[in-house]
Amino acid sequence: MNRCTKCILPENTPKIEFDARGICNFCTSHTPITYLGQTELEKELKRHLPARGKYDVLVPLSGGKDSTYVLLQLHAMLGKRVLAYNYDNGLVHPQAQDNVRGLTERLGVDLIVRRNEQQRERMIANLKAYLRKPDPAMVTMLCTSCRYGIMGNAYKIAREHKIPLVVIGWSPVEDTPFKEELLKGSGRSVMTGLMRRLVKNPAYASPVNLAAAAKDYFHNYSHVKNGHPLLRMLYPNVSLLQYYEYIPYNPDQIQREVTARAGWRTPDGEDSWQFDCKIKLLQNYLYSSALEYTATDSYLSAMIRENFIDRDEALRRLTYLQSKDLPKTEQLHAFLRECALDDLVKYFPARTRDKNEAPVPMPEKQPGKEMAVKTK
């Protein structure tokens, strides 16, 4: 498979085009992220604080490195007036749960956990629908209601505790535009593409599923950030702040810091990005089988464009992760059995490697490239 000669996006990425040098349009049109800076962050916090209640800010905490870093930094600024919140969809990796408990206990901050066991049942129903008529655009349906679950509960908790500000640890580097483009297809919008596919595969189209998909749409990060009228009406006294809109986001640097300062851990041999939910095992298998790439290709390409790593390092990391296909498939089988889906294991055959092929070692991460931070 041919890939961009600057990043590692493959030739079958939706909307991709290459110039004479083999560089894709996503690279040639890229503008480095501009950060607002620490001073503007402090101004924004002062604009909302102090709050009327016990807490000044709410931090959704997944157990991943990015939200862990946000909580560490805000705790250093505000102390125990930070409230942590974790959304448990019944599919959370045990290591992520350990990270959440360990960090909040270490810092002495209060933690609220909101559980939603229905999400597991919805994931199971959507997986069965997918297997009836496989379509890579519909892999995202495995996560239906998760965004609403995370952000909807965050807003509700903030309102209940009179907290004016929800601070999230999401970065544009994590954006995966290929998922939206797959859904759009030849249509004009994600919603029209989704509706067209629901008609083609009615197994998805339960009333509960449609309602959850609509709620997810209204709680996506762009709507939350820009103040969708529905959200402003429902939560007039709650605002959202994206921490990495202000403070530079460098995944490797963040991982080093949270490991040293908070004892943060990732499962042995696992990619540290979005390991916290077991659904990623399913998503990666289905995307890889249908497209020969996953969201990780997009993420590593974004890291190249932001000059965090070079192309050779990205390919080393991708090769290492691909070398873990067999053990990851075994983990996926265990996950399916955990969900009482033993009968579906046959749809996910193990990917074997040549027995004579040497195992791929974990790549040495490049020494922290300190970022040339661009601020407004």
372 pLDDT above the threshold of 50: no
Cis peptide before 50 (omega within 30 of 0): yes
Which carries the bigger pLDDT value, residue 195 or residue 213?
Answer: 195
Q: What is the DSSP letter of 99?
A: H
pLDDT tens-place string over residues 252-284: 999 999 999 999 998 865 667 778 888 888 998
pLDDT of residue 207: 72
Domain count, the chain: 1
Is residue 184 within 8 A of residue 190, CB to CB? The reply is yes
User: Looking at the domain assignment, is residue 344 inside a domain?
Assistant: no
User: Looking at the domain assignment, is residue 294 inside a domain?
Assistant: no
User: Looking at the domain assignment, is residue 193 inside a domain?
Assistant: yes
| Upper half-sphere CA count for residue 51 (Cβ side, 13 Å) | 24
- Tokens for 239, please give them: 């605002």
Nearest alpha-carbon partner for 303 in 181, 171, 179 = 171
User: Looking at the domain assignment, is residue 168 inside a domain?
Assistant: yes
37 pLDDT above the threshold of 90: yes
343 pLDDT above the threshold of 80: yes
Q: Is 26 helix (H, G, I), strand (E, B) or coil?
A: helix
Here the CATH number for the domain that contains residue 251 is 3.40.50.620
User: Looking at the domain assignment, is residue 354 inside a domain?
Assistant: no
371 pLDDT above the threshold of 50: no
User: Looking at the domain assignment, is residue 261 inside a domain?
Assistant: yes
Q: How far apart are CA 172 and CA 180, in angstroms?
A: 15
Domain that holds residue 139: 33-267
Dihedral, 165, 167, 173, 176 alpha carbons, nearest 10: -80
User: Looking at the domain assignment, is residue 293 inside a domain?
Assistant: no
Q: How far apart are CA 149 and CA 326, in angstroms?
A: 32
pLDDT of residue 218: 62
pTM of the model: 0.87
Q: How far apart are CA 15 and CA 35, in angstroms?
A: 27
pLDDT of residue 330: 87
User: Looking at the domain assignment, is residue 303 inside a domain?
Assistant: no
337 pLDDT above the threshold of 80: yes
